[in-house]
Each structure stands twice: as C-alpha cells, then as structure tokens.
Amino acid sequence: MEEYSWSKIEKKEARKIFNEAMQKECDIMIERIRDFSAMATSLQDLVGINDYLTKSLAKIYRKYDYRYSQLINLFALLLAEERISESDLEVFSADKVERIISLANFIKSRA
C-alpha cells in the first residue's frame, strides 16, 4: 500500500469532505428510521427498526475510517458511490487524485 503525505490544507479539506459525506449518509439513515417509525405498529416493527439501525451504524463505523492511511480508499469508494464528486478532490495533490479516481473506476467496474 502506498503511503501519502498530507499537507495541512489537505488534512483540513479531507476532514471536511469526510464529515459532509458521513453526515449525508446519516441523514439518509435518519430519514429511513423516521419513515419506519411512522409505520410501526408492533413489537416486530420495532425489532426491525433496531436491526436496521444496528446494521446501518455498523456499516458507517466500518466505512468511515479517518486514518490518513485509509482516506484514499474511502474517497475512492465515496466517489464510486457518487457521494462525492471529482471536483471535491481538486484540493488534493495530483497523485492522490489520480489514485482515488483509479480506485473508484476499479470499484465501479466490480459492481
């Protein structure tokens, strides 16, 4: 695995992109829980909501890893999922952007 050094500006922008993407996923999850809750009429419905919440949170915690050694992979995944755009990456050095785009294309080709 390649190691990349992150400038102070890149670190600040990476944190911003990371936080915004994670918040968007959390917002989607919250909206779904609201919808599920509005329709809940039984204990079984509540168990389903709990299962959804537990699985969704576990997925978010696994996915959003803010170690610098993991950011290239995370941003590639987010780009492949269209949760961020290539224009979001303009703040990073060319080698990072190229790697992120390359990995995103690979992820898309495997989907």
d(C-alpha 13, C-alpha 36), whole Å: 35
- Best CA proximity match to 23, nearest among 70, 53, 64: 64
> Does 44 fall in a domain?
yes
Summarize pLDDT for 36-95 with one digit per residue, the tens.
999 999 999 999 999 999 999 999 999 999 999 999 999 999 999 999 999 999 999 999
When divided into structural domains, the chain yields a total of 1
pLDDT in the model for residue 2: 72
> Does 63 fall in a domain?
yes
pLDDT in the model for residue 3: 85
> Cβ(108)–Cβ(80) under 8 Å?
yes
Summarize pLDDT for 2-39 with one digit per residue, the tens.
789 999 999 999 999 999 999 999 999 999 999 999 99
Range of the domain at 85: 8-110
> Does 21 fall in a domain?
yes
Taking 80 as the threshold, does the pLDDT of residue 1 lie above it?
no
> Does 1 fall in a domain?
no
Separation of CA 77 from chain center: 7
